[in-house]
Amino acid sequence: MTQKIDHEKVKSLVTELLTALGEDPTREGLLETPRRIANFWREFIEYDAGKLDTTFSAVKQSQMVAVTGMRVWSMCEHHMLPFWCDISIAYIANDKVLGLSKFARIAHKHSHKLTLQEQLVADIAHHVRIILGTDDVAVMAKGEHLCMTMRGIKTPHKMISSALSGKFHQAEQRAEFLRLVD
C-alpha cells in the first residue's frame, strides 16, 4: 500500500494547533500528542482491509443473504469528528456468494476516510454490486455522529440511511430486508 499520510507534516500541524489552542506542546502530557495523532491518522487513512472479493459458486435459487451488526467507525467530513455505524448488507444470491468476512472488510474499507454516512452506505452498496455482478443489493447503516452528540445541539441520536437497488426496490424484498435488520 502506498503511503498517503505525511506523518511529519501532521505532527507539525498538531503542534501548531496545540499552540493555537493556548496549550504548551512541550509540557509532559502533550509531548507525545503530535506523534500519537499522526499515528492515528496514518492507521485510519492507510487502513488495509485485505482481500475483498472472494466469492464461491452458489446453487441458483434467488436466496437472500444478509449480514448484520457490523460496527464501523468513520470520520465526518464536515467536522472531522468520529461517527459509528452498525452496517447491514444483503443481496440476492444467484450464481455466486460472497465470502462471509468480506462483508465486514468492505464496510471497514469504505469507513476509513473522511465521509458522510449517506456516502458510506452508497460506497459499500456499489462495491458489493461490482464484486457480485448484481444490482440486487441492500445496505443499511444505523449510527451516531459525535458532531451532533458532543457539539452544536449536543443530542444523542440514531441516524439511519440505506441504499437499495435491484429487487430490493420491490415491496416484498424490501420488507424482508427491513425485518432482518431491525
CATH of the domain at 96: 3.30.1130.10
pLDDT of residue 1: 59
CB 140 within 8 Å of CB 121: yes
Please state, as a whole number, how many other Cβ atoms lie within 10 Å of the Cβ of residue 94: 16
- Those residues with Cβ within 8 angstroms of residue 27's Cβ, 6 or more apart along the chain or in another chain: none
Whether residue 69 is found in the same domain as residue 38:
no
- Rounded Cα gap, residues 163 and 133, in angstroms: 16
Please state, as a whole number, how many other Cβ atoms lie within 10 Å of the Cβ of residue 53: 13
Range of the domain at 34: 7-45
What is the tally of structural domains in the chain?
2
Task: Report mean pLDDT in 10-residue bins for the chain, 182 residues.
Answer: 88 98 98 98 96 89 93 97 98 93 98 98 98 97 97 96 98 96 88
